[in-house]
Structure formats: C-alpha cells, structure tokens
Chain A
Amino acid sequence: MSEKIKILYIDDEPDNLTGFKANFRTEYRVFIAENTVQALEHLRKNADIRVIFCDQRMPGKTGVEFFEEIRTIFPHPIRILITAYTDIEATISAINRGNIFRYIRKPWIQQDIISAIEEGNKFYIANSMLAIKNEELQQAYTELDKFAYSVSHDLRGPLTGILGAIDVAKEMSDIKELKELLVLMEKSVFKLEDYISSMHDYYSSRRGELKIVDIDFNQVADELKDVYRIYTTTNKICFEATVHQPESFRSDEMVIKMVLNNLITNAIKYQKKNFENKKIELNISVYDGLATILISDTGIGIPESHFDEIFNLFSRATSHRAGSGIGLYNVKGGLLKLGGSIDVNSVLGEGTVFKLIIPSK
C-alpha cells in the first residue's frame, strides 16, 4: 500500500494517547485527541480518516455519545469503542443502534487494535466501493432516461418524418415536388444512420479496453483528408492539415480516430451556409510525450454560454442543424479514457477552435 491508513484515537488521558501513538505510528498515520473538540477538528481536516477509536469514559461526553453525534456528520470512518467491562450495557446498546462497528476491552493489547484496524479498513473500503458503484449506477440510470427521450426524438423522429412524407407523396403527382420530398426523406435516413453509428461509438467507447499502439499522425491526417475529400470538395471547404511529430507517440488509434472524426464532421456540418472561404485546419504537434491537436473552423460558432454543456449527452447548442447531441459527449469520453483533455474557444458567427491535449501512453 502506498499510503498509510489514517486512524484517530480519542482519550482524555495523555499517557494513553502517547502510548497508542508510539505503538502504531510506524504502521499507520495516527491522529490523537484529548477531547471531542480536538477530535472533530481532525475529522474536519482529514476527510480520509478511516478508523476512529474512542474511549468510553471521558469527562463531558461518553464515547458512545460522541459516536452517535458524529455518525451523521462523518458517516464514513469506522467507529470503534474502547471500554471497560463495567460499561457493557451502554456498549451493547450502541452496537445494536449501529453507532459502533465493534468494541475493544480496556486495557487493550496491540493485536486487538491491529485486527480492529484491518477489519475496519476492509469494511471502509467495501462501503466506499459501494458508494462509488451506487453513483455509477445513478449515472447509468440518468443516461438511460436521456436515452429513452432520445429514442423517441432521434430514432422515431426521422422515421415518422419519412412516414409522413410517404403519406403526402401518395397524393402528389408533380415529379418536381416528389423529388423535393425525396431529398428530405434522404436527409432523414442519413440522420438516422448518423445517429445509429454514434450510438455504436458511444457503447464501444464506454465498454472497450484500450489498445495502445504506435501512432503516426501524418498517416492519420492523410487518412482523414481522404475520407473527407468528398465532403470538403462538394461543400467547397478548404481542409488543411499540418503535422509535426519528431517523436513517437503511443495511444489507442481507434479512440483518437473517433475523436478526430467527430470533431471534423462537426467542423464540416456547422459551416456557415453562404460563406465564401470555408476552411478547416487540423494542426497536430507532438512534444515531450504530449500531442497537442488544434481543430479550427470558419463555422457558425458556439455561444459562450454553451461552452460547458456542449460535451453533455444529448446537449444541442443550435436548433438549426441536424445533430444528435452524442458526438461531443463521445469525444469527451474518449479523451477521458486516454487521459487527455479538450478545450473549446469560439466566436459566434466566426468559427470554433477545439484544443486537445493527449499524453502518450
């Protein structure tokens, strides 16, 4: 274990405190307190104290009373009472009410204390894991709720659009109008297709293990240019990529490509409609084991008030373009897995710059 377990011992007799500390200081990080006021001070400053020992007989407040009091304020540390036989009734009742984890008889022997710390620590870890799992579960539920919403909006939406279009088309005889409708139906199909592939990204990026390989960013940039050539030429967008990689870089290539694909697709999708000099720049440089990637575009931009929320699941900053609200969420999730970070800077109506920093693994 890299760090010593933190324990706190409360006793009104200074000799006991000194003895306790001398006995256990090599194995554990020991905090001592002569009274409950000092004890509370320690607890406030050290949120990660795992086990608390408290003497039952103290002037002013008994150990049981103290534990009962701190149980709600500091619920995580494991509470152990140190007591003589004469206090057995109070001890049993405290155990039964859940205020203490176990008790140690006075005078204590070293082995009892060590075993209490080890058992208490196990219990503490199990409880903490449970709390973390609960939080993860809560997050999964929240995402599921959002997913249910998105099923009706992003999956049913395009489908009902197509169904509606078919209904209208049955009544139309003008070929020109029908073709107009077909273009709209095609867009709906693309949107659906887009959504399904981003859902796929979402689940594979959440569950998959990382596969670390050497990454040649020159090759990655060339591939991206090839993939997007058809979109950039038909939309008259100038796509420039510069790569400066004097050293090797290791990371998960699939995740990096997923991240770049999402950001470049966005840069294409959110260009200003009737703008002459549409441009997307991709700039990658690798120094000291860090890849810095800049993706800038001359697009519609993102209002500053939305900077924080654009990476949230199903968040949409604009109502005017197709989008599922999953792309940037996947980007952020992917970067998190790689230990990287993302920053956005944007001026409404001028363009957006995403800055990524990814450490080599």
Chain B
Amino acid sequence: MGLSFILIENLEIDLYIAHKLIKMTMGDDALIETFTSAEDALDHIAATKIKKADRTIILLDLMMPRLNGADFISLFEALPEQITDHYQIVIVTSSMNKAELDRLGKKKNVENVIAKPLTQEKFKAVLEQIQIDINGK
C-alpha cells in the first residue's frame, strides 16, 4: 500500500515533533514530506501523479501566515476528485475557535481535528480511527 504523509506546519518545533511521532509510530522508513508553507504544499499536491493504491495523510496546521489552513482546505477542495480522493486531512491546531474548528471538521476530506500538542496517544488514536495499521506495534 502506498501510504505516505504530508506535514504542513510553519512552526519548526511542531514540524519536528510530528515528523518524529510518525517515525516512532510507523517506523523509520515511513514516507514523509514536509512543507512550511501551505502554498508550496498545494502546488506539490496538484503536481503529484497518483497511483491507484496511493493514500496520503495530511497533517495540517491552521494558523499560518499568508495561506492559512482553512484557505488551504478551500483551494484543496477545488482540485479534481481523482486527486483529492487519495488524501485525508487531519487538522492539528492550537486554535480555540470552536465554531471554525467545527466547520472545518465537517469538510469532506477532513477526518479529524487534533488539539495541539500532538502526542503519540492522540496520533495513534487518529490512525486507528482512519484504519491505518501501525507497523510492528
């Protein structure tokens, strides 16, 4: 199965943590791509050729300068379904704006909303919910 991860996060420390958690949970050979800008991530997603079995989990921060997470989701949704169907978005945020989080949580490609800090426990729970086998653990 072509499982991979995309991290979109402008804070260095949170990026590091998410990266580390994925490796700790999925093993060192997990496929991870990181972006500190949502624009770059969007360009990458739009340009990536997908194979049928590919499945990518996006861990998305909301509060980022320039293109923020919510705007990213809107632009992402405008991409063709043949692309978006292969992606599942998990929002990871320190935002306390409940109305906004509820609204985004209902979006088609958004699987879950995690309150920062991202921990092993929360990460594993989300993986379980979206039915991803945790390698060797």
Residues of A within 8 A of B (CB): 149, 152-153, 156-158, 160-165, 167-168, 171-172, 180-181, 184-185, 187-188, 316-320
Q: In the complex the two chains form, is A164's CB within 8 Å of B117's CB?
A: yes
The stretch that binds A, out of B59-67, B80-88, B104-112, is: B59-67
Q: In the complex the two chains form, is A184's CB within 8 Å of B36's CB?
A: no
In Å, the complex CA distance between A114 and B4 comes to: 82
Q: In the complex the two chains form, is B17's CB within 8 Å of A165's CB?
A: yes
Q: In the complex the two chains form, is A319's CB within 8 Å of B65's CB?
A: yes
Please, which residues of chain A bring their CB within 8 A of the CB of B117?
160-161, 163-165, 167
- 24 A-B pairs with C-beta separation under 8 A: A149-B97, A152-B96, A152-B97, A153-B95, A156-B94, A157-B116, A161-B11, A161-B13, A161-B17, A162-B13, A164-B14, A164-B117, A165-B13, A165-B16, A165-B117, A167-B117, A168-B20, A168-B24, A171-B120, A180-B16, A185-B13, A187-B12, A319-B64, A320-B10
Cβ-defined partner of B63 (8 Å) among A152, A161, A163: A152
Secondary structure of the A contact surface, majority rule = helix
Total CB contacts across the A-B interface at under 8 A: 76
B118 interface residue (CB < 8 Å to A): yes
Q: In the complex the two chains form, is B63's CB within 8 Å of A187's CB?
A: no
Please, which residues of chain A bring their CB within 8 A of the CB of B74?
none
B21 interface residue (CB < 8 Å to A): yes
Residues of B within 8 A of A (CB): 10-14, 16-17, 20-21, 24, 36-37, 63-66, 94-97, 116-120
Please, which residues of chain A bring their CB within 8 A of the CB of B13?
158, 161-162, 164-165, 184-185, 187-188
- With most chain A CB atoms within 10 A of its CB, the pick from B13, B17, B63, B64 is B13
Q: In the complex the two chains form, is A168's CB within 8 Å of B21's CB?
A: yes
Please, which residues of chain A bring their CB within 8 A of the CB of B66?
316, 319
Q: Which 8 pairs, one residue from A and one from B, show the smallest C-beta to C-beta distance?
A: A164-B117, A316-B65, A160-B116, A161-B13, A184-B13, A163-B117, A164-B17, A160-B117
